[in-house]
Every structure is written in C-alpha cells, then in structure tokens.
Amino acid sequence: MENQQIEELLKQMTMDEKIGQLLQLTPPFFKGSSEHGKITGPLAQLKISDDIVKNTGSVLGASGAKEIRSIQEQHLKDNRLGIPLLFMADITHGYETIFPIPLAIGCSWDLNLAQKSAEIAAKEGAVSGTHVTFAPMVDLVRDPRWGRVMESTGEDSYLNSEFAKAQVKGFQGEDLKNDPNRLATCVKHFAAYGAPEGGRDYNTVNMSERQLRESYLPAYRAALDAGSKLVMTAFNTVDGIPATGNKKLMRDLLRDEWGFDGVVISDWGAVKELIPHGVAEDEREAAYKAIQAGVDIEMMTTCYPNHLKELIESGHVAEELLNEAALRILQLKNELGLFENPYRGLDEVQEKEVILSEEHREATRELASKSCVLLQNNYNILPINPSQKIALIGPFAESNDILGPWSWKGDKNAAITLRKGLEEKLGNNRLIVKKGCEIESITDEQLNHAMTAAEQADVIILALGEHSDMSGEAGSRSNIKLPDSQLKLVEKVHGLGKPTITVLFNGRPLDLHGVYDKTDAILEAWFPGTEGGRAITDILYGDVNPSGKLSMSFPYSVGQVPVYYNHYNTGRPQGAEDAQVRYVSQYLDIPNEALFPFGYGLSYTTFSYQNMKLSTDTITPDDKLEVSITVKNTGNIAGEETVQLYVRDLVGEVVRPVKELKGFEKIHLEPGEEKNVTFEITEEQLRYYHSDLSFESDEGTFEVYVGPNSCDVQSLPFRLIK
Ligand code: BGC
C-alpha cells in the first residue's frame, strides 16, 4: 500500500479499533489458535473479551506455519477492516537450528558469522510465519550474577555495537517487503537493562546520564542506525523512572533526539508494572504514563484497552498520540507487505525443508567452534591425540541441555551431545562415559563409577557446567562458582594426577577456582547450540584451532563484581610508582584483576606481535593516524588471531577509562606466516561525553595499545592537536 492509503485506513478506524492495534496477546486468546481458550493463571485475570481480541494488533510467541496461518485466517474474518495481525517472537540465537548463545557469539568476534546466524534464524522463523523478532538484545553487561548476560554480546560498547549492526543486517536484510525470508528486528531492552543493582534481575538501575550515554546507549543506537524497526522498553528504572513510563528517555531522547520513527513496544507486562514500581496509582495512570512516554504496543497487559479511550475522551490524553501510535504499527505492517500478503513468508513445504537443514547445521557448527574460548592449556595437553583412551565424565557428558535459554523452538533431541560428537570421531572402543554427578548433587556410587572410568583412561574430559535454568531471564545467582557436587568431582579426579581437560557448558562467566587450579585445560564452550558436541570435538582433536576471545571478563571471585577491563584508574591505583603498600585501591585478599580478562583466549599455535609503529605522533581533526603491527604465526599449525586495538585518553575533562576498544581485525595465518595489520585512528574516535554532555575530543596525549587481549598489549603515545 502507499503511505497515503495507510493514512486513509486509519481514518476509517474507530477509536476502539485503533486502541486494539496497540495491544499484543499470546495465541490462546485467538480463535484460530490450537491453544485457543487455554487461558490460565495471571492471563485469566486480564479478562479479555472477544471484542478486544478481534481488534488486537499483534501476537506474541505463536509458531509454525500451520498455526500462524490459522490464526491469521480467522482474524481476517473477525476484524471489521481486515487488518492483518503482526506475529512477533523471541528468535534470538536461532529458531529451530540453535546457534550458540549470544555471549558465546560475542566471543567469536566474527561479525560475518554473527550476521549469517541471524539470517538463518530469520529464514527459519519467516517460513514458519513470524514477522518480527525480539532481537537483538544489546544490553551492555558487567555483572555475571545477572543471568541475562548470556543474551548479550558482552561488556564492551564498541564490540556490542558492531554485533548489533551485524545482527540487524542478518535478520532484516535490505528490503523487508520484497524479501519474505527476513524478520523485522526489535532492539532491546531500552535502556540499560544490563546494569541491575547486585546483578538481580528486574532490579533498579542507577547511573548518571553521562555514563548511560557513554557506555550503555551506543549499541542501541547502532542497531537503530542499522535500521532496526522496533525498540523494546526495559523493565528497569532509568534515573528513577521506569523506562516504560519514561518520557525523557522514550520521547525526548529516542524519538526527538535520535529521530526514531519506528514502533516502541513495552516489555512483557511492563506497562502495568508502573504500579508496583510506584509511579502509577492504577492501570489508568499506567496507561497515561506509557502513552505519554511514547509506548506504542502494550505487551500482555490491558491498561490501554481498558483506559485509553476514557483518557482521550476526558481530554487527559491527546487523540493525536493514539493516532500516531496506531499509524506506526500500521506502517510496520505495510513495510512487511502484510496488506498485500497477510501470510508473508510462511510456507509449510519450505518449513520442512529449511529448518535444521544440513546447511544450517553446518553454519551453527562453525560458529559454535569459533565461539569456544580456550582458557587454559597447560603442557599443551590439547589437542588430544586420537589414539588415546578417553574417560568422558560429568553431568554434561551426554546432556542435550546445550541449547541454552531463549531457544524455545529448539529441539533438544536434535542436539548433538558431547558424547555423540566424540563417538563419531573415536567410535566406542576408546571412550568410556560416566556421569560422575548431577549438576547440583552427587552420590558415592556416581563418584566411584567415575573414578573407575578415570583410572582406565589416558585422558579425562570433564563436561561440567550450569543447567540452562541457572542463567537466562530471572536466572540471577549470588554464587557463580560451579555447584559443590561438580567441584567435588573435579577434586577427586585431580587426585589421580592424570591429564584432565574441562569443557564448560554455561551461560555466564564463572569463578573458576576449584577448576582452573585442578585441571590442565579449560575449554569454555558456553551453551553451544544444536551442533555443540561436534563443534567441541572439532576443537578437542585439533580439527579446528580455537580462536574465541572473551567478550566478558571472568572474575577472580564474585567479590570483585563488577569487574571489567575499561574501568577507571582511581586516584590511588595499585602498582603506581609512588603507591603505598596499603592505602591504594585494592582488596586485601584477592587481586584487582579478572582471572581471565576481556579479549583473552588461547590458540593451539602462538603469535608474536612486533614492530608496532604509528604513522605520526600527532593528529589533528583533519587527518588520521595509522597504527601498524606485524603479527606472525610462530607455531606449527595454522591459526586465527583477533588483533585488538585499544586507546586511552590520558587526561580528560572527566575521567577516561584505562583502555577502550577502538578496533579489531581477525586474521588467518599459516605456520611461519606474518601479516602487517593496520588500524586507523581519527579524531572522531577520540570523542567522549563531557560533564555538560557535549560529545567532543580534548587536545592532549593518548596512548594506543595493540595486542591479543586487553592485558597483554604494546603501546605508543600520540598527541591530538586541535
Ligand atoms: C523479556 C523479553 C522478551 C519478552 C517476550 C520478556 O520477559 O524480558 O526479552 O522479548 O519477554 O517474550
């Protein structure tokens, strides 16, 4: 339809019909759904009449071409003007072919594969009838107690922004109307949901606007600049006001300052949650605050349908606000081509062919192996020699709980366990498998069986971790060590003095005491997705050389949290030349540094960094500086290295971080091969938010660092002259 026709359509709509567009409900409310009427628990209290349902604008969490076709068909009969429904769902790291969790994808530093994974997820989702995905989640995360760190690509705003763009491109493509294999994206959770106090989900977020702009907002902005069609509000407060009723954030900043003209959707129930937050007395006031703030779609509560009409008729809310919101939703439907084809993309035949196809499985296997991070490899115990006899022990030895949270369509039975991956490589005769313990409990019998198996083996692989419910939404934990049952198993096996490798399956950085000091090698596999077992086997046997690098620091212990590489120096930094022994910023009982820092990850080969050079030692806003370094593969096998560029502004108007990632390049090097890697630095990259929120650079001295991670770097100084 032409834009003008959409405006005409709006004019034909009654106020109830317009308000209906602003509501989103789950399938059981819709007559065409196979779940119709299964409305229990809190949903039953919503008391939603058929009249409301027939005007509703969108559906959350429906799946499958047949189901979605049926809901849409029925709805088109019931809706007076035949306005099609929008189908939205959380297709985050895959639809049925599940990719590694986003935090793992962050560790790949591979933007092309991240984009490809989103493209595949979009294709599987689109042929199954979905139009919009609630992704990418780009919340910056610094606290591994928060279970949702698994949904983010990590602790750095630059890296997150790059992944945000890649995911939006992959999911959305260039032209939603003419490419029915793509999904519109909804960037979330705006804003700063990743910084809840104490790492407790849904908790208060408290930070200065300067900090918000500097660290937390860039990735949302990057997703919008890449064209994301929707934004989801966060559950938390931003400067004392819940995001969902925060006019300054949603209208002044997002719409007016950034010019976002797409659809804003609340998070699940977040409009009504303005009441327990304590900024709305009742549903009516919640509706008032949300519409004023610019929330277009209310997800799963009914403050709008119950109160918006009265608020408008009594003159408390301008009708214009309703018209604008409804128009934006209709425009999105139009951009997706739904008025021409309400069954956009869905195709029962293709659904069977593309979902979990060989091609999709190959793609997730590749990304999973690139997302694994080799944290430790004492005595080069890895890769394993295939002639060795293996005892595979641990609760993840043959667990198919490897898809991770937010994989609701993922079929665990289609997942390749580590046992399966190893059996394909080794056959049965060199592999003994024992559970050893449950994730959170252990019996003497389990332990004894495991020890007998371990005694017979040349090499022991411990498959340990957290089950998928221990992270994800509402998955906060105060203890981020492995459960005691597993630590006991590690301790016992360690007593044998045999070569031991730990493979970890989990959704957050862990405190690895009791593991890293008691096993020779650690491979962080995260929740690796459908092809996990094969991808890990590829690495354990050297068919793939590990190349993942942490995108979130692993703390020394939970007491350091939040611990992140781009912190401030403080007035009393540890290790300064004139530092006293006691009166410096430090812990008395643990180091300040993370156990494994941001950017860290080992390879089976080694790389040297030499000849770091700057093209000039001064730059002005009109020119640029080139930083170059020669990276050489000094080992015996080919490998991939992620060369990282950091900058520090030594003196600012406000304190600047000790390092900030400004660029990275992935290179492949054959044994003995070397490459010259060059980065550009411009004045623009040196800008930051000042105390008056102006975004500019300061004249003065900077330090530029290059290296394989955020700690082991070489540096050179330069000056900016303005
Ligand atoms: C989550 C969102 C998600 C939504 C819909 C909420 O609980 O916070 O990330 O998109 O549910 O499933």
- 412 with 265, same domain? no
Q: What is the mean pLDDT of residues 339-355?
A: 96
pLDDT of 42 higher than 80: no
pLDDT at position 516 is 96
Cα 188 to ligand 1 centroid, rounded to whole Å: 9
**Residue 442 and residue 326 share a domain:** no
Range of 448's domain? Answer: 364-559
pLDDT at 207 over 90: yes
CA–CA distance, 237 with 257 (Å, rounded to integer): 20
pLDDT value of residue 28 = 95
Question: Does residue 355 sit within a domain?
Answer: no
Q: What are phi and psi of 666, to 5 degrees?
A: -95, 130
- Domain membership flag for residue 357: no
How far apart (Å, rounded) are the C-alpha atoms in residues 145 and 130?
32
* Degrees to nearest 5, angle at CA 702 with 572 and 574: 20
334 and 452 co-located in one domain: no
**Do 555 and 623 reside in the same domain of the chain?**
no
The CATH number that applies at residue 303 is 3.20.20.300
What global pTM score does this model have?
0.98
Q: Which atom of ligand 1 is the closest one to the Cα of 235?
A: 8
Cβ of 406 less than 6 Å from ligand 1: no
User: Roughly what angle, to the nearest 10 degrees, separates helices 217-225 and 157-172?
Assistant: 30
> What is the band of 52 on the pLDDT scale with cuts at 50, 70, 90?
very high
Same-domain check for residues 536 and 405: yes
What number does the ligand 1 atom closest to the CA of 134 have? 10
Question: Residues 36, 39, 40, CA angle at the centre, nearest 5°?
Answer: 155
Separation of alpha carbons 643 and 699, rounded Å: 27
**What is the pLDDT at residue 6?**
97
How many CB atoms lie under 10 A from the CB of residue 694? 10
Burial class of residue 274 (count of CB atoms within 10 Å of its CB; 0-12, 13-18, 19+): buried
Predicted local distance difference test score (pLDDT) of residue 34: 95
Q: 302 C-alpha to center of ligand 1: Å?
A: 17
Distance of CA 269 from the midpoint of ligand 1 (Å): 9
By three-state DSSP, how is residue 582 classified?
Answer: coil
Confidence of residue 687 (pLDDT cuts 50, 70, 90): very high
For the chain, the straight-line distance linking the first and the last C-alpha, in angstroms and rounded, comes to 51
Q: Are residues 534 and 633 in the same domain?
A: no
Residue 387 carries which side chain, given as an amino acid letter?
A: S
Strands 714-720 and 700-707: antiparallel
Q: Taking 90 as the threshold, does the pLDDT of residue 268 lie above it?
A: yes
- Are residues 406 and 520 both part of a single domain? yes
List the CATH number of the domain containing 655: 2.60.40.10
CA 308 to chain centre: 35
HSE, side-chain direction, 13 A CA sphere, residue 491? 9
Domain contains 426:
yes
- Domain end, chosen from 289, 320, 348, is at 348
The CA 667 to ligand 1 mean position distance, Å, reads 37
SS3 668: strand
Question: How far is residue 697's CA from residue 593's CA, in Å, rounded to a whole number?
Answer: 29
pLDDT at residue 43, rounded to an integer: 77
The answer as to whether 491 is a domain residue is yes
Query: Averaged over 317-343, what is the pLDDT?
Result: 98
Radius of gyration of the chain (CA): 26
Per DSSP, 197 falls in state G
What letter does residue 94 receive in the DSSP assignment? Answer: B
CA of 89 to the centre of ligand 1 (A): 9
Ligand 1 neighbour 90 (Cβ under 6 A): yes
Same domain, 438 and 520: yes
Q: Is the pLDDT of residue 39 over 90?
A: no
**447-479 residue pLDDT tens:** 999 999 999 999 999 999 999 999 999 999 999
Q: What is the mean pLDDT of residues 482-511?
A: 98
Q: Residue 188: CB within 6 Å of ligand 1?
A: yes
Please tell me whether residues 409 and 508 are part of one structural domain. yes
Question: Structural domain tally of the chain?
Answer: 3
Ligand 1 atom index nearest CA of 61: 12
Tens-place pLDDT, residues 571-595: 999 988 877 789 999 999 999 999 9
CA 256, 260, 266, 270 torsion-angle sign: negative
Q: How far apart are CA 605 and CA 634, in angstroms?
A: 7
Q: Percent of the chain having pLDDT more than 70?
A: 100
Q: Which residue has the tokens 């849409």?
A: 72
Question: Considering the domain boundaries, does residue 537 fall inside one?
Answer: yes
Is the domain of 617 the same as that of 502?
no
Q: What is the pLDDT of residues 223-241, one digit of tens each?
A: 999 999 999 999 999 999 9
* pLDDT over 90 at 37, yes or no: no
What mean pLDDT is reported for the chain? 97
Query: Which amino acid residue places its CA nearest to atom 5 of ligand 1?
Result: 268
Q: Hey, which of 63, 267, 298, 471 would you mutate to test ligand 1's pocket, going by the most ligand atoms within 8 Å of its Cβ?
A: 267
Band of residue 40 on the pLDDT scale cut at 50, 70, 90: confident
pLDDT at 352: 95
Average pLDDT over residues 63-76: 98
Which of 348, 377, 393 is where one domain is finished?
A: 348
Residue 338 domain-assigned? yes
C-alpha of residue 429 to centroid of ligand 1, in Å:
46
Structural domain contains residue 78: yes
Rounded Cα distance, 127 and 122, in Å: 9
Atom of ligand 1 nearest to the CA of 151: 9
The mean per-residue pLDDT over the stretch 288-311 comes to 97
Domain for residue 114, yes or no?
A: no
Catalytic residue of the set 267, 511, 649, 698: 267
Instruction: Supply the CATH number for residue 449's domain.
Output: 3.40.50.1700
Element (H, E) at 26: none
134 lines ligand 1 (CB under 6 A): yes
pLDDT digits (tens, 9 = 90+) for 135-189: 999 999 999 999 999 999 999 999 999 999 999 999 999 999 999 999 999 999 9
Choose the final residue of a domain: 348, 372, 396. 348
Distance CA 154, CA 384 (A): 30
In the block, which residue shows the tokens 């809706």? Answer: 79
Q: How many alpha carbons fall within 13 Å on the CB side of residue 514?
A: 18
Q: Residue 220: how many CB atoms within 10 A of its CB?
A: 27
Q: Rounded CA gap, 141 and 152, in Å?
A: 7
Check pocket membership of 273 for ligand 1, CB cut-off 6 A.
no
pLDDT tens-digit readout, 688-711: 999 999 999 999 999 999 999 999
Dist. CA 382–CA 360, nearest whole Å: 28
- Name the band, by pLDDT with cuts 50, 70 and 90, for residue 536: very high
Mean pLDDT calculated for residue range 104-117: 98
* Ligand 1 contact via 190 beta carbon (within 6 Å): no
* Cα–Cα dist 484/386, whole Å: 32
What pLDDT sits at residue 429?
85
Nearest CA to ligand 1 atom 10: 134
For the stretch 640-657, pLDDT in tens is 999 999 999 999 999 999
267: annotated active-site residue: yes
DSSP one-letter code for 457: -
Q: Are residues 450 and 313 part of one domain?
A: no
With cut-offs at 50, 70 and 90, classify the pLDDT of residue 242: very high
Same domain, 397 and 480: yes
| Span from the CA of 430 to the centroid of ligand 1 (angstroms) | 45
| Ligand 1 atom nearest to 189, measured from its CA | 9
CB 157 within 8 A of CB 140: yes
> Which atom of ligand 1 is the closest one to the Cα of 137?
9
Question: Is there an atom of ligand 1 within 6 Å of 201 CB?
Answer: no
Pocket test for ligand 1, best of 134, 236, 409 (most atoms within 8 A of CB): 134
pLDDT tens-place string over residues 498-530? 999 999 999 999 999 999 999 999 999 999 999
